[in-house]
Structure formats: structure tokens, C-alpha cells
Amino acid sequence: MISSIKNVSTLIAMLKQYGIQDVVLAPGGSDIPIIHMIETDSYFTCYSVVDERSLVYFAMGISQQKKAPVACVCTSGTAVSNFLPGMTEAFYRDVPIIAITADKNQNFQGQLETQKINQIGIFGECCRKSINLPVIRNNEDQWLCERLINEALIELHHHGSGPVQINIPVEGDISSYVDGELPKCKKITLIEGTDNELFSHYIKQRLSKFEKIMILVGQDIDFSDREVACIEKFAYNYNVVIAADHQANLNCFGTINTYPITEMEKKIDNKLIPSLVISLGNNIASYDLKYILRRANNVEHWQIDEAGRIRDVFHHLTTVFECNIFEFFSAIEKNQVKKARNDYYEAWKEGLQSIIIDEIPYSSFYIAKELSKAIPENSILHLAILNSTRLMQYFPLQKGVKTYSNLGALGIDGCLSSFMGQAVSTDQLAFCLIGDLSFFYDMNAVSICHRKNNIRIILLNNSGAGEFYFTLGKETISSIDKHIGAINRRTAKGWVESLGYKYYSVHNSEEAHKVISNLGKRTDFPVFVEVFTDIEEDTGITRSAYKKNLIKTSKDTMKDVIKGTLGDKGFETVKTIYHRIKRGES
């Protein structure tokens, strides 16, 4: 019997996927749908224990004899409190117990609702993982519910064994059941290390099935030469594109900065959608690549993470490989199964070449282009968030330029401070591209006494939050200036000059070229460049560049549709007729 309460049916489906067969049940009201689904499913072996204090100990005995996890189910209220002694013993004995604690509507906490205590995390440190399932009302709730259950059940045997808690609010009709099949839920597999049969199975049996593989490189990886070599060899031997924006700091065969394509084109051609994503590192700069992959069908996601964390950013995560990058790719080389073509990389390369950036008028976009040419090899570059990060992705950097950005939490509060710490830790020239709100929020950082003469700060001062004029603009929110855009008329000149920086102001292309082209030269003082632009003109120039590429993409898509339907000859006929009509010919 399948309960109409979706988080309940999802939980039961996931227990079966993980091979949890033994379940000890305590009677109650809140847990009725859980109990009834389990007791009517012949897959499970059920035991009844009324006393919750005894129940977990009883389950421990089963687990120790069978050497398998055992689930314990109780109703809400003090029934959950009575699980604590047994959970404590299980924790200190490394016994894999799943405490499934039924709960009531979370909104009733502290509102004199009967049997409604705070059950979330109630077992404290005597629990390897404690999760609270959502009430499922939409697809995102379903994804979250499955992901959380995966996280909890993986921890039963991750770096040791022990108990976990799954707290589940049971909201809905507890008497509504139907015959049918359990929902199809996604199990996430954790593979610890590479010297095991499961890893070999994945490589020999599964890897060869994927036609197009994307290695997606996030920030915060300091690649060694041997890591780069084994990634590059993998890219040669399989049909691979390595998606790496500037913050990835990786440049080898197969590498493409996919940012310009995904951000400008939004909806990319199906030939660019991977069948497998292998992700490394932390966050990426691209917003839209995440959404593109989430919307895509038939995409599988493998994650390489030494900590074995579940980070299902694209909602397609199936496997986490708990190992380092070198171990993963070198082990694949030992288990290699085929030599593949490289047309997937070529398709992305062709897509990148189709992005057209016309001659750019004076603007922040223009400054980014000039700066990309001025930064010498092996320098460091810190890109403050949003607009500063975005603009630089469209221009190549010199060899060995190490790029940083605070993409982790994406706040404006510490960009400059992070840069100053990076700059004082190197003798290389250090560049920071930053917007005015980020700068003035963190402006005390330029006064840190440890600053060095290698500092080059370029402040894009358009007198407000340019990000919101780019994404929204006055045509969307007419009152954007005052609070959302935070329009101001501040300048950094007096502050930075008082601290001993060589200050330059820039108001046009000629001044910009003259100042920025010299930033790569060594000086006996830190340098500060303040670039002044009009916020609406500035963001309008970037939006115009995006719009041109969106129009181009739409035309290319229509061309592909016509060719696919009528063939090349049919397309040429249609094109001829179109141009005749356009010229007014019959």
C-alpha cells in the first residue's frame, strides 16, 4: 500500500534502494502511514516493540547479529526522547541505527499543539547525521527530500559506522493509501577510494556508455603538474570538454571557458549538452550553466570530492568519488576502455568562436578588455563579485595569471580584504577589479599596513549597483535608483591618496588606454585607478553585446530547424525566396 503522503512514500522507496530490510516499529499516531507502508510490503522484516526506550537497544542486537543497518520508527513527542539512551549506546558502539522519528507540522512548534516538541537534532552529538525532511509540494521539495535521505543513509557507513536520524513531518491524510508502485527515487552512490571493485565497475562498464563528457572545474584547486597531465590525457582519450572559467586556473588540452556561451546564449544547442558531468572543486562563476544542466534530460553527474560531500548542484548527482583528482584520473588510465573522438570539444570551441564582441565603447566592459591585455604573465588577479567577475570572462588572460573571486558565499563585504591578503603574500604584480559598492563597503582594507608596491586596484565607479541595472533596469523597476541601485556620488580619491597610493582617474577611452596599458610596469608605490562611468550607459553597453549574441543564436537555431526539415537545398531555396521578398521582388 502506498501512502498519499509523498515524503513517506519517498522514504520507504529509499530504504529499499539502500537494502534496509529490518525495521522495529513502535505504535503511535503520527507514524501510522510509515508503519502501514512498511508492514504491507513483503520486502521488510518487521518487529513490534511498544517501549521506545527498549526499542533501539533491541534494534542494536539485531544489527550486531546480522551486521546490517536497522531502522527504528516511533511517533512524535516524548516517544522520540525515549530513543536517546539507545542512540547514545549505538553511537559509542558504532552500530548503524536509523532513527525514523515521525513529526507534526513544523509551523505548530511552540503553539500548544499536542505531541509537538522540537525533534530536530534531538540526539545531539550521539548521531552521525540528523536530517529533517520537507513536506513535498513540488519537484524541488522532492529533490531535497531524496538528497537529504541519501546524505543520512550514506553516513551509516562513511568513515566508520553509527546511528543517524531522519525526522519526517507527516502532513496529510494518514488513512489514504493506493495500490501501485513506489516512486522512482535517485540513489547517490559514494565510492571511497579507487582501488576497489565498485570503482573498476564504474570505469569499465559505465564510462564507455557516455557519448559527451564535461569536466566542470570549480575554483579553489591548486593543480599540480601531474594532475594537469592526467586530466589532459583523459581529455585526449575520451570525448571531453573541460569547462573552466578564469577562476578555475586550468589551461590544458580540451579546456574551454564556457562562460560566454552559457551566459550570452542562455539556451544552448543540444549538441553542447553533456551526457556525463564530472565536477571538481568548488563554485563556478556561471549562473546559467547550472540552470542549463538542471533543465537538461539524461545527464548524469559524478563528483570528485576528497571529503565525500553530497553537493547536488545540478540535481543529477548519482556518484561521489571520495578521492583526490590524481587518484581518480590515473585509476581511469589503468582501467581505460576506449579511445574516443574529440568532436565534443570542437563543438564547444566552435560555439565560443561564434560569440561576437564588437568594438566596445568606453564602459566597464571596455576596461575589462584593456586590463586583460595589460596584466603580465604569472600575475594574480582578484575579481570582485558579479559584474567584475562577469566582464573578465570574455577576454583571455596571459599565461600563468592566477585568478581569484569570492564565489563561495558571494558577498560584497570582503573582496578587497581577500585581495590585500593575496597581494601581500606574493612578489608578483597583483590586480583587483572591483565595483564601487564592494569597494566602499570594504574600503578600510586599503589601509592595511602590510600593503606592498605590487598592488594594482581598478575601481569601476558607476555610482551604484550596476548588477541590478544590467539584470533589471529602470524599465523593470522605475524606482531602482534609491534603494536597489543605491545611487551615490562617492569617490575614493582623497582616501587612497592619503594612504600613499598613486591615484589615477579615468573618464574616457583615451585616458583608460593610457593608464591601464602601463599597469604592468613595476613601481615604487601601490597604484589605484578609479574609472568613472554612467551606470545606465555602462550596463546598457554590456546588455547590447548580450542582445546581439542572443539574436544571432535565434537566427542560427532557425537555420538549423529549416535545414533539418528541408535539407541543404531546401534551405537555400527558402533563403533565396526570403531575400527576394526583402528586396520587394516577385
Q: How confident is the model at residue 358 (pLDDT cuts 50, 70, 90)?
A: confident
pLDDT of residue 266: 65
Beta bridge pairs of residue 80: none
3-state secondary structure 170-222: CCCCCCCEECCCCCCCCCCEEEECCCCHHHHHHHHHHHHHCCCEEEEECCCCC
Domains located in the chain, CATH noted: 2-178 (3.40.50.970), 189-353 (3.40.50.1220), 364-541 (3.40.50.970)
What confidence tens digit (pLDDT) does each residue in 538-582 have? 999 999 988 888 655 544 444 444 444 455 555 555 555 545 554
Closest listed residue to residue 463, CA positions, set 433, 483, 485: 485
Highest mean pLDDT among 285-289, 465-469, 528-532: 528-532
Q: What's the residue count for the chain?
A: 586
Contact between 492 and 432 under an 8 Å Cβ cutoff? The reply is no
Q: How confident is the model at residue 339 (pLDDT cuts 50, 70, 90)?
A: low
What confidence tens digit (pLDDT) does each residue in 375-392 have? 999 999 999 999 999 999
Mean predicted confidence (pLDDT) in 223-227? 96
| Percent of the chain surpassing pLDDT 70 | 93
- Spell out the residues 6+ positions from residue 380 whose beta carbon is closer than 8 angstroms to its own: 401, 402, 403, 404, 422, 423, 426, 428, 429, 430, 431
How much is the mean pLDDT over the chain?
92
Q: How confident is the model at residue 213 (pLDDT cuts 50, 70, 90)?
A: very high
Grid coordinates representing 61 are: 542486537
pLDDT of residue 562: 44
What confidence tens digit (pLDDT) does each residue in 138-173 have? 999 999 999 999 999 999 999 999 999 999 999 999
Angle at 64 between CA 59 and CA 65, to 5 degrees: 100
What confidence tens digit (pLDDT) does each residue in 52-76 have? 999 999 999 999 999 999 999 999 9
Label the pairing between strands 177-178 and 2-3.
antiparallel
pLDDT at 300 over 80: yes
pLDDT of residue 248: 97
pLDDT of residue 138: 96
Contact between 460 and 433 under an 8 Å Cβ cutoff? The reply is yes
Could you tell me if residue 283 is left (phi over 0), alpha (psi between -120 and 50 degrees) or otherwise beta?
beta
Rounded Cα distance between 262 and 292, Å, is 8
pLDDT of residue 268: 85
State which amino acid sits at residue 488.
N
pLDDT of residue 491: 97
Q: Does residue 108 sit in helix, strand or coil? A: helix
pLDDT of residue 288: 92
pLDDT of residue 573: 58
Contact between 55 and 74 under an 8 Å Cβ cutoff? The reply is yes
Q: Does residue 505 sit in helix, strand or coil? A: strand
Contact between 109 and 174 under an 8 Å Cβ cutoff? The reply is no
Contact between 285 and 302 under an 8 Å Cβ cutoff? The reply is no
Strands (E), 239-316: 240-243, 255-256, 276-280, 300-304
Rounded Cα distance between 485 and 30, Å, is 49
pLDDT of residue 586: 46
Mean predicted confidence (pLDDT) in 36-65? 98
Closest listed residue to residue 195, CA positions, set 85, 328, 389, 16: 328
Rounded Cα distance between 395 and 54, Å, is 66
- Spell out the residues 6+ positions from residue 383 whose beta carbon is closer than 8 angstroms to its own: 246, 247, 389, 392, 403, 404, 405, 432, 433
pLDDT of residue 314: 96
pLDDT of residue 548: 82
Q: How confident is the model at residue 111 (pLDDT cuts 50, 70, 90)?
A: confident
For the full predicted model, state whether its pTM sits above 0.85.
Answer: yes
- Look at the block and give the residue holding cell 493509501: 177
N-terminal to C-terminal alpha carbon distance within the chain: 69
